[in-house]
Structure 1
Amino acid sequence: MRYAIGMLLAAAILFLSPLPGNRAFGQELKNQTVETNDELKLYAQSAVLMDGVTGRILYGKNEDQIRPMASTTKIMTCIIALEYGNLEDKVTASQNAASQPKVHLGVRKGETFLLKDLLYSLMLESHNDSAMMIAEHIGGSREGFAELMNQKARDLGCKNTYFITPNGLDASEEKEGQVKAHSTTAADLARIMNYCIGQSPRKKEFLEITGTQSYFFQNQEGKRSFSCTNHNALLSMMSGAFSGKTGFTGGAGYTYVGSISDEGRTYTIALLGCGWPPHKTYKWSDARKLLQYGMDRFHYREVYKEPSLPDIEVKGGIASSGRLEDPVSVACTLGEEEKSLKLLLADEEKVTVQTRIQKELTAPVYEGQAVGTIVYRLNGEAVKTYPIYTAGEVKRLTLPWCVKRILSRYLTMAGPEEILPAA
């Protein structure tokens, strides 16, 4: 019996030896790009077709090339005004605003309008004086408003975008020893649009304004009336088109950014340098090509697969049976996330699944402890990560527990005649 007790104590000391701690795994979600060689032969010098939900670029042509953006700028002007202002704000025209070049509403210095009315003027008719009135009202000055625009661009991850004007007129300025132009990329412009239509807390108002075909209003003095017609022809050209903005300057050429929904899918496109006069219709040709390409090639597929998760061995723990000789392990489970993953994929695209889970743990183990991940990858990059957790707990094997267990077993094995003294 003394030999048995000694062996059990030695085993307990072995179980109590220190082992490496737990290590959790993780992978940052990244946007993916489908490689293309401009098979659509677009007129635009830069173009993007983007998944309006995830931001994945489905088709790109020079999508990271920095170019002037013209009045597509006004989607940022509009969303900043909606987020920082009040639609019922009264806005008074300065001399600077009144002197902005065409296309303009024709405001006069000292004339007052509702911010709401100016936003319709901005987005439907692309009026440059309305843009400056909005900027000076919200930002205090053109420069102050530009800083709000640039900060929002940084927040959205638009690293190749720089705003100077609220209306998109060609401009440049010296900043931190460098000459910077009012510019963006097709990829950044599409990201900004995605934010406006799907992520901004004021997306409802943005969609209402940009989806309106015509609008009528008066100045606050009640002396002049104005009417606006939406110049986003795609709204009537393609079923499902619901928002967008055109633009043109001599430096930028014709530009366009817009979104369309079809069978539960949302696509955003951006076109920069899409011809110069007289080729005003090039942007509509490119827009139809890009959107039709997206609708024909990309469809939602359910790629989630229910995993088979192994139990993890636990060192220095107490088995659920309470016997020292039994192996110790803990079951695993996924978190409470929805067990579904639908991705917008081309027919030939494949999603791979990688499970990374720790091979062993050291007691004590707590229920809900992170022990690994299941990573879904598209084109080698993570698009979704599911964390793996322990489904139960395992207490640590301690010397007092071992002694108590040994004594209990010894007393159970020894009969009363062995323990009690003889009569």
Structure 2
Amino acid sequence: MAYRPLADEIRPTTLDEVVGQKHILGKDGLLRRIIEGGNVPNLIFYGPSGTGKTTVANIIAQRTNRPLHRLNATTASISDIKDIIADIGTLLAPEGVLLYLDEIQYFNKKQQQSLLEFMENGKITLIASTTENPFFYVFGAVLSRSTVFEFKQITAQDALPAIDRGVSILEGRLGGKLELEEGVREHIASACGGDIRKAMNALELLASAAKREQGKFLVTLDDAKTAAQKSAMRYDREGDAHFDIASALMKSLRGSDPDAALHYLARLLEAGDMTTAIRRLLCSASEDVGMAYPQAALIVKACVDNALQLGLPEARLPLAQAAVLLATAPKSNSVYQGIAAAMADVKAGRVGDIPRELQNVHADSAGLEREQGYLYPHDFPGHWVRQQYLPDELKNRKYYQYGDNKTEQAARRYWDEIKKP
């Protein structure tokens, strides 16, 4: 008998066997009701790999008794689609076909458009899958003719029944009991990162290397840790996971949660993405802490410089120091709001002429020198003198508002005293 990968052999044949996805495939799940109703529309499955997208497409094909054609957009072409279309209406596919198009984001606009005519007349029912956000990567006309379902990452608890089924199959292959040390099931379930395919591959590897003792095949926890290490890291620098983790780090810093900040920083560093971590830390120092603790920008920059000199893994220490500092520092977004308001005026064309007092006097053409009238603040008490700095049409505009923290309120009181009439 030809070898069959465990991940393929364990593939569910009914909706009840699908791991996770209870939000769409549970008793009252919308996708389950659509499939059981038999009138399946064009679908787009969005979510991480190994979460059941292909499996559900296979089950739909079985339930609707329609031929299922599979294409992967990384290698398929328009000619492949034309070959499938040529079968429609023949004895091979009298009622049309299901086309499962994996990684649809790799099809360009022209390739996706070639599907439209046949999607509309019902000869092709498209089931597309993607690990990227379809609202960014799928052509609008295809998207508008499809229903999107998100497949969520599978939890460790959800993965345990699949691991038990895998053990049962492997015992049949080995002809003996496959005994897992305490903690092996749970470790594989958590280390697979929600990818059942990875879990089955790890389990199959462990079974092939299991120690035979008294007619049993023993899988140790140490072997499981070696086989499954880093499998839980789900990260793609060009994909949604990258932006999700970076966003989570930034929001944890802003939300003053040092534990969450360290967690997301660790995920970036474990993936080797120190650049993203540094950018978020440097940005947060000015955007979220700002004038509430201005020294934070200097400290974070020093931590970043140290990290760059050290390199990973030691770089994790100064970067963690920066993350904890930012998460526990007082917060103010007055700098962010101020520059955002100023940029909005500039982009809208509200600029006006620079007051004569502020112009570069040396730029005057020969013979056209004019009295500038600039008042040098350091010549006046308190190093301040009242004069107009903004253009006339913006002279009363307020961009910066003092934050309600101790540092900015101290500055406000100082300048209120200096500038009082």
Per the normalisation by structure 1, the TM-score is 0.30
Q: Provide the TM-score with structure 2 as the length reference.
A: 0.30
Ranked by relative contact order (alpha carbons within 8 Å, sequence separation 6 or more), the top structure is: 1
Hey, which of these two has a bigger chunk of helix by percent?
Answer: 2
Instruction: Determine which structure has more spread, i.e. the larger CA radius of gyration.
Output: 1
